[in-house]
Amino acid sequence: MPNHNKIAIYPGSFDPITFGHLDIIRRASLLFDTVIVSVARNRQKKPLFDEHEREEMIRRCVSDLPGVEVDSFHGLLVDYARQKGAAAVIRGLRAVSDFEYEFQMALVNRKIDENLITVFLMTHDKYSYLNSTIVKELVSLGGDVGCFVPTHVKERLNEKLRKK
């Protein structure tokens, strides 16, 4: 029987989630029946928030979006996508500078599993300069990031980065 539940994985570090990520999640949820936003447990990166904190922040942001689930994974993305029965991987593109790395990653993933499709979605241009690293730097230097992340994420950032 054909599978009518089209599942997409939206993987990332989400350290922490920003309005740019949320814009991509909302767009992806219009295209797929189920979007699994999945936090990568990447040992090479030292995140500010552990995976449970990152998952919890994402969950609070997407609770009103039907068909959006939150999870985390380690190991190869293609293995995880296969295990979830996903048809596609979603990645957001902000600027041309993102393209080279994203293209390389998509091609490597396709080499490993040719059935896995990478779908690139363009972020709204008002978020095209935004990333989690800049948000963390702004908070640590006393800046207000209220226009870049939801209020509860901003509070968590302030707790982590301003307590010293």
Indicate if 21 belongs to the active site.
yes
Pairwise CA distance, residues 125 & 17, whole Å: 17
Tell me, rounded to whole angstroms, the distance of Cα 16 from its chain centroid: 9
Pairwise CA distance, residues 68 & 34, whole Å: 6
Indicate if 45 belongs to the active site.
yes
Residue with tokens 């993305």: 77
Say which of 13, 29, 72, 132 is annotated catalytic.
132
In the bound complex, what is the minimum distance in angstroms from residue 81's beta carbon to ligand PNS?
A: 9
Residue with tokens 């999945």: 38
Stretch that binds ligand PNS, among 1-9, 57-65, 103-111, 116-124 (CB under 6 A): 103-111
In the bound complex, what is the minimum distance in angstroms from residue 54's beta carbon to ligand PNS?
A: 11
Can you read off the two tokens belonging to residue 5?
């539940």
Residues 55-94 that bind ligand PNS (CB under 6 A): 76-77
Stretch that binds ligand PNS, among 1-9, 101-109, 121-129, 152-160 (CB under 6 A): 101-109
Can you read off the two tokens belonging to residue 150?
């939801």
Spell 135-160 as b/e; 16+ CB within 10 A means b: bbebbeeeeebeebbbeebbebbeeb
Stretch that binds ligand PNS, among 1-9, 49-57, 104-112, 138-146 (CB under 6 A): 104-112
Say which of 43, 45, 46, 164 is annotated catalytic.
45
Say which of 13, 54, 91, 94 is annotated catalytic.
94
Q: Which residues are catalytic?
A: 21, 45, 94, 132
